[in-house]
Amino acid sequence: MPDGDTIAAISTPPGIGGIGIVRISGPRALEIGNILIAGKLQKNRVRFKKFLDATGQALDHGLCFYCQAPHSFSGEDVVEIQGHGGPILLDMLLERVCELGARLARAGEFSERAFLNGKVDLAQAEAIADLIESGSRAAAKAAMRSLEGLFSKQIHELVEDIINLRAYIEAALDFAEEEIDFLADGSVDDRLKSSLDKLQEIIGQAENGRVLNEGLTITIAGLPNAGKSSLLNYLAGYDAAIVTDIAGTTRDVLREHISLNGIPLRINDTAGLRDSDHPVEKEGVRRAWQEIAAADRVLLLVDASIGMTEADESIARHLESTGYCLIYSKSDLLDGSSDKNADALYISTLSGEGMEELKKLILGNF
């Protein structure tokens, strides 16, 4: 359970705004609120009052209300003060609240107290942070579903299924001498398979939530001059990377952040993968392999005008353990009679051929 301290914090983001909020939570919240307004707050009623300093002079005025425990976010007595959104005013209000007996809340302490008081479970507490930090509408909707308890409900149901299955098996073992084969009908196998299926579904949902919140990391790999930087520029929507006919122009990792159908993407353009004695290019290749190992998706680009070379095949063999999507670039340089690899996607950043299919390939099931 939380300690007996009363905590306070500014609940609105830094900067200037029309409204600024100071929140107080704990056993002395009502007492502090009453002194601050020189009056008496009543639960679940909003009042417009002056907020006073130690000499009785007004620091600000605005709305304030009191939520009595346990009917509040934190499960404790909570007083919320809504004044003007100037940082100096809010600092003065918070300082006055602390003079009256509150202490500054630690980061996340209001949510921590809500969790310890049984107002939210761990998944919901984490969903609050995900909701606040969501970088897309899809991420916000997913976080809201978790906050409403849908994800927690699935986990609780799975735990209950496993507990019941364990009790059934233990009962079968305890009564093994009764000549009743509890396990003969195959129900245990069916129930265990059902639990495993639910577990895989939950793991998949958790991974989807991670992607919606953190985004996918896409690394573009291939030989020098395979069209990697051109693809980065196309996806970014501007010339983020220098594109020339000179092999080895890109010698470091170039990163761009974009949003595709509401999914945040981190696109990494890497140095061309080849053996080199040049120390700078050699370091670039080392970093490229490092980015490949950490990526969610690897796009292996092959110059369609040249075709798959032994060097391309060597890179592909190295990527077999991590997985990759084979992409033939510069398809605009092919004539109609050219044979195409049926297992690969052909794209052109000049004509736009295959780019919509590439976007679908990048997103996968999202």
State residue 281's pLDDT score. 80
pLDDT at 29 over 90: yes
State residue 302's pLDDT score. 93
pLDDT at 55 over 90: yes
Q: Classify strands 263-269 and 216-222 as parallel, antiparallel or unpaired.
A: parallel
Phi and psi angles of residue 262, each rounded to the nearest 5 degrees, phi first: 85, 0
Q: Mean pLDDT across the chain, nearest whole number?
A: 86
Pick the residue with more confidence: 181 or 115? 115
Rounded to the nearest 5 degrees, what angle is found at the Cα of 62, between the Cα atoms of 56 and 68? Answer: 90
pLDDT band at 275 (very low <50, low <70, confident <90, very high): confident
Average pLDDT of span 227-256:
73
- Cis peptide bond N-terminal to 70, omega within 30: yes
Cα dihedral: 253, 257, 259, 264 (round 10): 90
Separation of alpha carbons 226 and 245, rounded Å: 10
Global pTM value: 0.58
| Length, in residues, of the chain | 366
% of the chain residues with pLDDT over 90: 42
pLDDT band at 174 (very low <50, low <70, confident <90, very high): confident
> Are the C-beta atoms of 30 and 56 separated by less than 8 Å?
no
Q: Which of 1-10, 79-88, 247-256 holds the top average pLDDT?
A: 79-88
Residue 179: other Cβ atoms inside 10 A: 6
pLDDT band at 232 (very low <50, low <70, confident <90, very high): confident
